Structure 1
Amino acid sequence: MSCPAMSEETTIGANDSWAEVSLEMKPFLKTSGTEEVKPDSILGTAENNEATLDIPPTLLQRIQGALTSGKYLSTYKNEQKKSVCSNSKSSALWRFIFFHLPAVAVTMFLVVLYVKQQKWSPSHPSAEQLSALQFAAKAHESLILISLTEIIFHKIRYGLLTSDGIPLGFLTSAFHLASPIQYIFSWEFWGAALNPTTKRTSHVTTVVGIFVLALIGLGAGPFSAIVMIPRLMWWEIPPNHIPHDASVFYITNESYEKAINPAKGYLASKEYCKGESENDCLFANLDQLFDDMGPVLRSPPRTPQTKNVSFRAHGPVPRYRPITLSTSNQDYAFATSPMAFVAEVLYQDATYIDSMRNGSVMIRSLRRHLSEHLTEKWTQPLVAVRCAHTNELILPNTTMASFEFNDPEAADPLNVTFNLDDGLRYIKNRWNENMSTFDFHPVFLNAHKIPVPISAAILFPENYAIRNRNISKSANVQLCLVLSQWLTSNIWVTPQMTSIVQTELDIPSDKIIRHLHQMPTTQSTINMSREWLTGTSDRHNATYTEFSNPFYSRIFNNCSTLFQDEAGTCLPLVLASYFTDMLSNIKQLQEYDAKTSRGTPPGLEDVIIRRFFYILQYAYSPQHSTSIPMGFAVLLLHIWMVVLHAAFTVLSPDSWHSGAWGSIGELVTLALRSRAPHGLENVGGGVSSSETWKVVVKVREVGAERLEMVTSCPAKLQTRNETDVSEENTLGAAQVKPDMVYS
């Protein structure tokens, strides 16, 4: 397309004395062909609107006298001539200090706070201080917007004053930074952005600059608040700030994850059953466990449920070390607990710290070999138990016993079959004895004969009966499968909140069942040997035979009598608790006091129980955050734009910085001061065509010390062999000169 031809417009010129009194003479001006604007009318460009004067002779004489004496319209004498641009480097430096340095200084101060990870005192910031920080964040946002506006204004003014000009659509871009969405998605921006001016590089720079600065302005508010307000987190306390004894706690170098030793880690009954009945002492804690689990067992949940219980099979019950029980359905349960030696050390530290320090403190434990510098998380046992019944076994007709385990994570149930002449030979032999009744002991089966990796398989015969005068005998049998693994976990205690040691597995609780079924292997599964299963308890002067451990019979009998209707839930829950306690006590704590040389010092292969102390306080740190790095990316991008802008204004020989037309009002005033260009047709009622925003706008010296807005046609829109007949050429306008004053 080509621009319309521009002819010089008939106006009242700047040197015409009648122009200065046009406002006073307005009541006497009669314009032909003009009417009042009516609703729903289409506004365009009025043609042949020639002003005629109808002035009484007496008034005309008064006006001429006022003009001659110079006393008319004295209010306009306050508007002095002004310099609209300058090349002074000192002036550019002062503009940088005034418009950009405050926002940059605040951002750099925040960077220093985060680099130093500056912390507030434990009791601060208060609510009032947090409110003040929110206000400071809003002020920081305002400073950034001021800086961004100055950068865009410089680009717009520079384009207006140079030979390139600026597309009309970019003229008001600086006024949209606080809320740029509507502008960015308008034809005002894209109509100008998609049509480069004479210099394509300069145009692309302007478009990218406006777009990037608009995004910075959009994110300045939220990201400034994110980085300005500190976060409440646990921050590590240096060891030298924690008064503590010189004891070193450790366990011997035997790896409890690889092999569990039946002869170590458990108290013999004679060590804690002094002067008491053996049965009363041996099962006191177990009976208390049944009382604690009563509410859960009497109301079997239809959905997964979790409960913490305190239990220890041997000796005093450590209330600070909970066993977490969970149920998934009526026949399935799992339990976990931190290692007993770790919980004991954390409890001692918690008792000491709680009496020495104010504020919320957390103590966390990790393990480290003395020969290594790296620390790692502790592992703890996760025990899952599920049980299934078989149909009534009748001898001598029955030769096989089958058990079906429903698996919520598998499509098909797990079927386990035993031959009475093989795996269940013990039961068959007892049945063949000429006895009317017999109390069966639990039987530990060969776990390798189960088609899936497990830790142990325990058979519980439920009852026994004689049929047909000793010709046939029958029994009901229940099989429980035990699967246990070592899982890494976080272990900590917060003395001011609770003295109970807390633990969190690396696997979410709702995915534990799936993990156990998808990941069991012979390497990851704990192997519970028959010697260990029977050696986890003892009787006075008893030998470790197959049936020497009385806990299994006691557990089965209590579930059958106390919770007969919930036996299917009771047995897996109690067995999971029992095995979890056994595994967590598999190693004994060792202590060495460096001051008194009490105890045996740890060896190079021993495992040290490391403790780390944390305090809950507000601080500046990007740890475990994605929003803070994003916020600093936006804020530092603003600083980068400021640096580029400052380098251009200071180092460029023709930087031409300006302070003119800094508001929409000044731009409107400049437009009113200028002649109406013929290139803008039919815009009196608004702009609806993107073509209008392509028109190039410039500020030029028109006449003696007079500045006006003029338009020109973009070079790419001119047809071949067509000369530029823009308003700039028609009026003979000249480019604005630095440091010159204009009216």
Structure 2
Amino acid sequence: MHLPAVTITLALLSLYIAKVNWKEPSNEALNALQFAAKSHETVLLMSLGDILLYRISYGLDRQDIGVPLGFLPSSFYLAAPFRYLVSRQLWVPTFKSSKNTKHQWATGAMIVSISILCIAASPLSAIAMIPRLGWWKNDDFDAFADDGGSPLAKWLPHIEYRTVLGSESIPLPGVQSLVDPIKAFLRAGVDVDLHTNFEQMEFSNISYSNYDEGPQSVSLAQENEITYATCPLSIVATLLRVAVNRGAQAFPGPWLTTCKQQIQGHGDGTAWKQPLLAVKCQYGLPDSHFFNFSSVLLNETLTLDGDKDLAGVDLHNLTRGDHRFLNLRANKNWPVSADILFGSSENKFTLCLVFARWSAADTWIELPRSFQTWSNFEEPIVQSISNRSSDFIHLEDKWMDGIATFSHKSFFDSMAEICEAAPSFVPRCYEHALALHITDGLAQTGNVFLSPGYKPQTEQSNDSTKQEDAILFIRYYYTYAYRFESSRGIPLAFTFLLLHVLMVLIHLVKIIQSKDPWQGSDWDNFGDMLVLALASKPPDGTNDLAQQSSKSELWRKTVTVGCEGDEGHFQIRLKEQKGYQRTRQQEEESGGDFS
């Protein structure tokens, strides 16, 4: 009776403990689980009914205990117990004061708890039975296992996220900087259509790098006439591109690989930080050189006095393609990372403000969707940029000039030539170009791959003075799986299901400890109980059951089962009486024989 329900519950529990994945189940298989859940519900009801019926039968058999009349039908309501739960049949005898009050309270509590389990059996079985579709972690994944390919770096020098970048922080020149990719990359950034009419910020990925040989992707977005940009650290993106294909050849569905930083090799790993930029460029009004910045990032105005900039340099010398750093952070106390003033051949000026900070973000590559890196920030982007925290970056003039200086031409000169060629889009062109280039430069932080003769470090250095961080790769598969963490309802479901298992164990212990282990009774179903009732005499005072007070008195009465007469017929009888006594007039009126 109890074995099927307990076996199914424990089998489901083992699936969740083992974290079993189910790759590409068919619709027929998922439909079959619906029927399996219904079967589980059925055997649960049978088991719970058996436990409750044993409790009722135990009280009926014990002449010194008995069972209130209101409890007798409880086990036959379990398929739809709600009506019984709100009836007087249950609550009147439960709170009746008698010498067996403790037993009645315990029986009433058992009826309520079993009824609640029966109500919840259907959804609980389905919740536990059906696996969830989602991204599930593979605990067996090891990106550093030898697969015959190139070794993958496991340790890196500790990355310091500097917030003041000067000449000493200029990234080393890469292979790309030896050629002239600036115009092609700028056109890729300038011509991209960044959506501006949307409620949620959307990023467009653009391949751009002056340092990496791989397809480094910078994400651009435009909102409220401000250009936002971000990309993972170059070294993180490179490591992900190497690790993403390891150990996934046999998996048929999508998978993703994420990378975390373990400070000195300890902990569960933390998200890497990456640069997050906002660039706002503004035309100066002719002749007056007046700039008005009104946005969520800054609400300030600037007027250049006369024909001089803030450093006293003649603005007439600032021709098309030339630039100046006004250093508004120091001169005007503006909360900006950097600023740059561009001239034009028409005595017009464009002033660009840069806001940059380090922001923690989860980074991953999802295949076969795309080989690009994706990021998810821990806080909203605009709020993160607006927050002048300790991660806000100050870009010194020497660093800005350093990332723009090439052997053949200045980046800023090339940018000005391209942007001034499209005067109707000059501010946006400057924003896109600066966002791409500065983000790419910041992303080279900690990029040891640019160091001459670098070899991947697979073991921790023996030098205790070196600060090193371990790299943690985590693999997720998109599949059906049994996981406790997939829903709050699953631990709740197993709490109730295991409560049933506990009740079964207690029930079996009670049976084993009993002097006469219960093997069933002659009234273990509704039909037998009805026959037993018909063979019994009703108690005195039940001739006016239309009144609720009479019914309440009846449900309080305690009954037992005993033999009546020489023939040994079992009858329900009141504990206070020697059987149900009926008057001769009642027997004649009914014409029945209850003996």
> TM-score per shorter chain, which class?
0.7 to 0.9
TM-score normalised according to structure 2 size: 0.82
The verdict on how the C-alpha distance between 1:199 and 1:451 changes in structure 2, with shifts beyond 3 A counting, is: farther
- Asked if the contact 1:269–1:538 (Cα under 8 Å) also holds between the matched residues in 2, the reply is no
1:530-541 aligned at under 5 Å gives the runs 530-540=397-407
SS at match of 2:232: coil
- Asked if the contact 2:539–2:580 (Cα under 8 Å) also holds between the matched residues in 1, the reply is no
User: Could you list the per-position Cα deviations for residues 77-133 of structure 1 after superposition, in whole angstroms to 9, with x for gaps in the alignment?
Assistant: xxxxxxxxxxxxxxxxxxxxxx2233222222333333333445x45x444433333
**1:454 aligned partner:** 336
SS at match of 2:360: strand
Whole-Å separation in 1 of the counterparts to 2:285 and 2:152:
56
2:185 pairs with 1:285: yes
**1:9 aligned partner:** none
**1:114 aligned partner:** 16
2:411 pairs with 1:550: yes
1:293-692 aligned at under 5 Å gives the runs 293=192, 295-296=193-194, 300-301=196-197, 303-314=199-210, 318-319=214-215, 321-329=216-224, 331-350=225-244, 359-368=253-262, 372=266, 375-388=269-282, 394=288, 403-407=292-296, 414-417=299-302, 420=305, 424-426=309-311, 429-431=314-316, 441-449=323-331, 451=333, 453-460=335-342, 477-507=349-379, 511-517=380-386, 519-521=387-389, 523-540=390-407, 549-551=410-412, 554-555=414-415, 558-559=418-419, 561-562=421-422, 564=424, 567=426, 569-590=428-449, 603=461, 604-653=466-515, 658-683=520-545, 690-692=552-554
Q: Which amino acid aligns with 2:388?
A: P
Same amino acid, percent of matched pairs: 24
Q: Which consecutive residues of structure 2, in runs of 5 or more, have no partner in the other structure?
A: 583-594
SS at match of 1:425: coil
How far is 1:201 from its partner? 0.9
User: Could you list the per-position Cα deviations for residues 55-90 of structure 1 after superposition, in whole angstroms to 9, with x for gaps in the alignment?
Assistant: xxxxxxxxxxxxxxxxxxxxxxxxxxxxxxxxxxxx
The verdict on how the C-alpha distance between 1:421 and 1:562 changes in structure 2, with shifts beyond 3 A counting, is: closer
Whole-Å separation in 1 of the counterparts to 2:210 and 2:247:
29
**2:37 aligned partner:** 137
2:559 pairs with 1:697: yes
User: Which residue of 117, 125, 131 corresponds with 1:230?
Assistant: 131
SS at match of 1:227: helix
Whole-Å separation in 2 of the counterparts to 1:641 and 1:101:
13
Q: Which amino acid aligns with 1:311?
A: S
How far is 1:266 from its partner? 4.6
2:110 pairs with 1:214: no
How far is 1:462 from its partner? 6.4
**1:103 aligned partner:** 5
How far is 1:351 from its partner? 5.4
Whole-Å separation in 2 of the counterparts to 1:478 and 1:430:
12
User: Could you list the per-position Cα deviations for residues 561-581 of structure 1 after superposition, in whole angstroms to 9, with x for gaps in the alignment?
Assistant: 4361x5555544443333222
User: Which residue of 75, 81, 87 corresponds with 1:186?
Assistant: 87
The verdict on how the C-alpha distance between 1:656 and 1:302 changes in structure 2, with shifts beyond 3 A counting, is: closer
**1:159 aligned partner:** 59
The verdict on how the C-alpha distance between 1:459 and 1:261 changes in structure 2, with shifts beyond 3 A counting, is: closer
Whole-Å separation in 2 of the counterparts to 1:159 and 1:623:
43
How far is 1:304 from its partner? 3.9
How far is 1:309 from its partner? 2.2
1:75-94 aligned at under 5 Å gives the runs none
The verdict on how the C-alpha distance between 1:160 and 1:253 changes in structure 2, with shifts beyond 3 A counting, is: closer
User: Which residue of 169, 173, 176 corresponds with 1:267?
Assistant: 173
- Asked if the contact 2:55–2:107 (Cα under 8 Å) also holds between the matched residues in 1, the reply is yes
Q: Which amino acid aligns with 2:17?
A: V
Whole-Å separation in 1 of the counterparts to 2:174 and 2:16:
56
Of residues 173-182 and 231-240 in structure 1, the stretch that sits farther from structure 2 once superposed is: 231-240
User: Could you list the per-position Cα deviations for residues 636-685 of structure 1 after superposition, in whole angstroms to 9, with x for gaps in the alignment?
Assistant: 11111122222222224477664232222222222221223333233479
**2:587 aligned partner:** none
User: Could you list the per-position Cα deviations for residues 333-364 of structure 1 after superposition, in whole angstroms to 9, with x for gaps in the alignment?
Assistant: 32221122221222233456676765544322
User: Could you list the per-position Cα deviations for residues 367-418 of structure 1 after superposition, in whole angstroms to 9, with x for gaps in the alignment?
Assistant: 3356657533221111122345565553xxx9xx56342328xxxx722556
The verdict on how the C-alpha distance between 1:148 and 1:484 changes in structure 2, with shifts beyond 3 A counting, is: same
Whole-Å separation in 2 of the counterparts to 1:671 and 1:625:
48
Whole-Å separation in 2 of the counterparts to 1:422 and 1:218:
83
The verdict on how the C-alpha distance between 1:586 and 1:194 changes in structure 2, with shifts beyond 3 A counting, is: same
Q: Which amino acid aligns with 2:555?
A: W
- Asked if the contact 1:304–1:327 (Cα under 8 Å) also holds between the matched residues in 2, the reply is no
Q: Which amino acid aligns with 1:650?
A: I
The root-mean-square deviation of aligned C-alpha atoms, in Å, is: 3.9
Whole-Å separation in 2 of the counterparts to 1:309 and 1:659:
75
The verdict on how the C-alpha distance between 1:495 and 1:261 changes in structure 2, with shifts beyond 3 A counting, is: farther
- Asked if the contact 1:154–1:657 (Cα under 8 Å) also holds between the matched residues in 2, the reply is no
Q: Which amino acid aligns with 1:156?
A: I
User: Could you list the per-position Cα deviations for residues 16-43 of structure 1 after superposition, in whole angstroms to 9, with x for gaps in the alignment?
Assistant: xxxxxxxxxxxxxxxxxxxxxxxxxxxx
**2:103 aligned partner:** 202
Q: Which amino acid aligns with 2:220?
A: L
Q: Highest relative contact order (Cα 8 Å, sep 6+), 1 or 2?
A: 1
Q: Which amino acid aligns with 1:136?
A: A
Q: Which amino acid aligns with 2:381?
A: I
SS at match of 1:516: helix
- Asked if the contact 2:258–2:363 (Cα under 8 Å) also holds between the matched residues in 1, the reply is yes
- Asked if the contact 1:492–1:503 (Cα under 8 Å) also holds between the matched residues in 2, the reply is yes
Whole-Å separation in 1 of the counterparts to 2:89 and 2:345:
89
SS at match of 1:536: helix
Whole-Å separation in 2 of the counterparts to 1:366 and 1:586:
16
Whole-Å separation in 2 of the counterparts to 1:615 and 1:185:
48
Q: Which amino acid aligns with 1:429?
A: D
Whole-Å separation in 2 of the counterparts to 1:567 and 1:359:
45
- Asked if the contact 1:384–1:576 (Cα under 8 Å) also holds between the matched residues in 2, the reply is yes
Whole-Å separation in 2 of the counterparts to 1:347 and 1:729:
86
How far is 1:627 from its partner? 2.0
Aligned residues: 570
